[in-house]
Structure 1
Amino acid sequence: MATISTNNTKTSTIRNPLAALGAALLNWMENYADTKTRRAEIEALSAKTDAELAEMGLRRDRIAHYVFRDLYYV
């Protein structure tokens, strides 16, 4: 049995640019879906009354901070 091993991962990317394009497209689609989901969450929270937001411990001017809280710390 023969085993072939290589540590040069850059070569495989250069040899198959179509795979790199596919990976970039998949990454873009995941980011788009994530953004669309967050937008829906912002719209849903914006539709709530101030009393409903207060029950959640949230102010209207902090909705975007709340939705994107996992991306940055302010």
Structure 2
Amino acid sequence: MAHVLSFNDTYPKTPLLTRIVEGFAGWIDRYAENQPRMRGVRALQAMSDEQLAARGLKREQIVPHVFRTTF
């Protein structure tokens, strides 16, 4: 009895350097998105305009407000 194994690539291989760069870029993106300030920006952006007005903010002031100590 004979057994035959066949390996056919059904997708093109991505070059190693491209995979490394894409992996690093993905890591940077995940790191930046999980920072407390970015969570604060997303929380304020999720509020309605009335809720922002109650806090004394306009929508275009969200990022400067959250990052005010670093700018």
Q: TM-score, normalised by structure 1?
A: 0.49
Q: Mind listing any 5+ residue stretches in structure 1 that lack a counterpart? A: 1-31
Partner in structure 2 of residue 39 of structure 1: 38
Structure of greater Rg: 2
Partner in structure 1 of residue 52 of structure 2: 53
Q: How far, CA to CA, are the matches of 1:49 and 1:68 in structure 2?
A: 20
Q: How many Å apart are 1:71 and its aligned residue?
A: 1.0
Number of residue equivalences = 40
Q: How far, CA to CA, are the matches of 2:38 and 2:67 in structure 1?
A: 10
Aligned alpha-carbon RMSD (Å): 1.7
Q: How far, CA to CA, are the matches of 1:53 and 1:66 in structure 2?
A: 12
Q: How far, CA to CA, are the matches of 2:70 and 2:38 in structure 1?
A: 14
Q: How far, CA to CA, are the matches of 2:70 and 2:62 in structure 1?
A: 14
Sequence identity of aligned pairs in percent?
A: 40
Q: TM-score, normalised by structure 2?
A: 0.51
Q: Mind listing any 5+ residue stretches in structure 2 that lack a counterpart? A: 1-30
